[in-house]
Amino acid sequence: MSEKTNTPKCATCGSRNKSVFCSLNTEQLTQIDTDKSCEFYQKGEVIFKEGVMARGIFCVNNGKIKLSRMGQSGKEQIVRFATGGDIIGYNSMLSKKPLSATATALDKSAVCFIPAKNFFQMIRDEPNFSLKILELTAKNWENASRLITDMAQKTTKQRLAEMLLWLKETFGLDEDNCIDVQLSREEIANMVGTATEAVIRLLGDLKKQKLIALEGKKIKLLDIHGLVVLADLVD
Amino acid sequence: MSEKTNTPKCATCGSRNKSVFCSLNTEQLTQIDTDKSCEFYQKGEVIFKEGVMARGIFCVNNGKIKLSRMGQSGKEQIVRFATGGDIIGYNSMLSKKPLSATATALDKSAVCFIPAKNFFQMIRDEPNFSLKILELTAKNWENASRLITDMAQKTTKQRLAEMLLWLKETFGLDEDNCIDVQLSREEIANMVGTATEAVIRLLGDLKKQKLIALEGKKIKLLDIHGLVVLADLVD
DNA sequence: CTTAAAGTATGATATTTGTCATAGATCCTA
DNA sequence: TAGGATCTATGACAAATATCATACTTTAAG
């Protein structure tokens, strides 16, 4: 009937249980359903742009999203990813500053928009929701401070190994042990913080070391423990 | 009379207005006063150590604190600073994970300890406090994601210039335009993410470029705009 | 199906940065 | 105030990485 025919309902959202919305009751979910909207994005489409003020938060229904910042002379730096159940854009709401990153779909994605009003209402009315968001922002900081340390101290090869493991954690592996996301060498370079050529060479090295295999664009992880050791993430 | 004779009162704390506690009422401040304790630290003393579970948050009454992580083979990475009015240790409380950084006094400092119970009670009872903390953690993320980008993309010299500006923002300048904190070249290197020798050489370069002057351990900023341009932070 | 465009790959070279060695300066303590 | 320890400084060299040039490969568009 309405223009919202394709809009998924929160109550039946497959991603809800692992999201910050898990503790809301039916009434609260219905309220969100009433006010939210949902958009579908193709690979490469921009969901929101760094620098503008956020007017609400975005909740990923399904798909794969990269969050990146423009650094030196326009070079992209990927700082985070989001998949089903993750929310994005909330930092800008909370800090009352412009969005600090651009969100881009890496794949066909469905993303709901929840207006600021509802977001702040949930924070005020539902201490458990508030705590969930606090937990989320705290974990973000902890990940970020680790990333700062690694960027500052590790070699390019170690960082590459670490990023491959991060991609595995975030997007998982397919039946064939390949990392289940399509990124260009340039995008990988923009995570690692190096030149595209360096990534190509270093992926070649990792292949020679039998840590990975390259099947076209797909990266297959052959020796996860070896990558962990190389990246110097525990042993 | 008691062992808390030297413990400063929240109500008269000079740093309170710029802290997250600014919106609490007298009753709430009194409650904190009852439960908190205060410790005094000399330069170099450790306030808390990375890896252990936090049992409360710390509020800096006055002094200068560095927060650092152990990276590759024990090399320190400084990820944040705290001064009067700042709270530290809360991320670990909120994420329910061990402390992700070590806090060390850079100077004679007074730091209050507020038990977890009080902290969570304030979050539950006082939505404005909750929002303050959310604002803080969101800003932390935004700073961190900028730092990640800069670590990944900028040259060592640019990062050094940026860190000098960061120190200026955090600790201010003394009467003589010198950055008002005493850090060793090694500590600066541990912010910038490079070797001590590189910092020494690059400080020499900045001096030749008349952007700074070195007076013993003190670093005098001669051309702040020049540093901003070099660090590629706007223009 | 053809062609242009984009992405991937590889080599050569220049630059930056890390590492090691050493020496001078400063600070602290006995 | 002498002496050791730590911090700062500088040179020489090695290693890592960026940059530029070029070719190959895959993808997308007409």
Whose tokens are 């500052």? That residue is: A152
Q: What sign results for the dihedral spanned by CA atoms A9, A10, A11, A14?
A: positive
Instruction: Report yes or no: A151 at the B interface, CB cutoff 8 Å.
Output: yes
Q: What sign results for the dihedral spanned by CA atoms A192, A235, B191, B14?
A: positive
pLDDT tens profile A10-46: 999 988 988 999 989 999 999 999 999 999 999 999 9
Q: How far apart are CA A182 and CA B118, in angstroms?
A: 47
Which of B194, B111, B185, B116 minimizes the C-alpha distance to B151? B194
pLDDT of residue B5: 58
Full strand arrangement of the beta sheet holding B37-41: B37-41, B109-115, B56-62, B87-88
All structural domains of chain B with their residue ranges: 3-146, 154-230
pLDDT of residue B1: 43
Contacts of B229 in chain A (CB under 8 A): none
Full strand arrangement of the beta sheet holding A76-83: A46-48, A102-105, A64-70, A76-83
Strand C reaches within 7 A of the A185 CB = yes
Determine the 3-state secondary structure of A220 from DSSP: strand
Instruction: Report yes or no: B137 at the A interface, CB cutoff 8 Å.
Output: yes
Q: How far apart are CA B206 and CA B214, in angstroms?
A: 10
Which of A170, A150, A157 minimizes the C-alpha distance to A63? A170
Nearest-Cα residue of chain A relative to residue B67 = A145
Which of B77, B96, B141 comes nearest A137 by C-beta? B141
CA distances from B26 to B4, B20, B58, B121, B123 (A): 19, 15, 20, 15, 16
Nearest-Cα residue of chain A relative to residue B125 = A127
One-letter identity of residue A48: F
DSSP assignment, residue B70? E
Q: At what angle do helices B185-192 and B196-208 cross, to 10 degrees?
A: 100
One-letter identity of residue A14: G
Nearest-Cα residue of chain B relative to residue A192 = B152
Q: What sign results for the dihedral spanned by CA atoms A91, A93, A99, A105?
A: positive
pLDDT of residue B53: 97
DSSP assignment, residue B72? G
Q: What sign results for the dihedral spanned by CA atoms B60, B66, B70, B73?
A: negative
User: In the numeric block, which tokens belong to residue B227?
Assistant: 């540093």
User: In the numeric block, which tokens belong to residue B193?
Assistant: 């993410």
Average pLDDT by consecutive 10-residue portion of chain B (235 residues)?
68 90 93 95 95 97 96 91 97 97 96 97 93 97 96 96 97 95 96 97 96 92 96 71
Average pLDDT for chain A:
94
Those residues with Cβ within 8 angstroms of residue A13's Cβ, 6 or more apart along the chain or in another chain: A19, A61
Q: How far apart are CA B200 and CA A157, in angstroms?
A: 27
Q: How far apart are CA A75 and CA A188, in angstroms?
A: 13
Instruction: Report yes or no: B195 at the A interface, CB cutoff 8 Å.
Output: no
Which of B80, B123, B150 comes nearest A71 by C-beta? B150
User: In the numeric block, which tokens belong to residue B86?
Assistant: 């700042």
Cα A177 to chain centroid, rounded: 21
Which of B124, B135, B151 comes nearest A94 by C-beta? B135
Percent of chain A with pLDDT over 70: 97
User: In the numeric block, which tokens belong to residue B55?
Assistant: 């049992």
Q: Which fold has domain B3-146?
A: Jelly Rolls (2.60.120)
Q: How far apart are CA B185 and CA B207, in angstroms?
A: 15
Question: pLDDT tens per residue, chain A (235 residues)?
Answer: 444 557 899 999 988 988 999 989 999 999 999 999 999 999 999 999 999 999 999 999 999 999 999 988 789 999 999 999 999 999 999 999 999 999 999 999 999 999 999 999 999 999 999 999 999 999 999 999 999 999 999 999 999 999 999 999 999 999 999 999 999 999 999 999 999 999 999 999 999 999 999 988 899 999 999 999 999 876 4
Which of A115, A130, A31 minimizes the C-alpha distance to B125? A130
User: In the numeric block, which tokens belong to residue A188?
Assistant: 């990988």
Q: Do A141 and B141 touch (CB under 8 A)?
A: yes
Whose tokens are 């809009």? That residue is: A7
Give the right CATH number for A154-230 from 1.10.10.10, 1.10.287.990, 3.40.190.10, 2.60.40.1260.
Answer: 1.10.10.10
Contacts of B149 in chain A (CB under 8 A): 69, 71, 77, 79
Which of A163, A108, A133 minimizes the C-alpha distance to B130? A133
CA distances from B30 to A39, B6, B9, B24, B37 (A): 49, 16, 8, 10, 13
Instruction: Report yes or no: A152 at the B interface, CB cutoff 8 Å.
Output: yes
B15: phi then psi, degrees, rounded to nearest 5: -95, -5
- What's the whole-model pTM score? 0.94
Strands (E), A84-163: 87-88, 102-105, 109-115
Q: Do B134 and A133 touch (CB under 8 A)?
A: yes
Q: How far apart are CA B37 and CA B55, in angstroms?
A: 13
Q: Do B96 and A135 touch (CB under 8 A)?
A: yes
Distance, in angstroms, between A95 CA and closest chain B CA? Answer: 5
Calculate the angstrom distance between C1' of C15 and CA of A212: 31
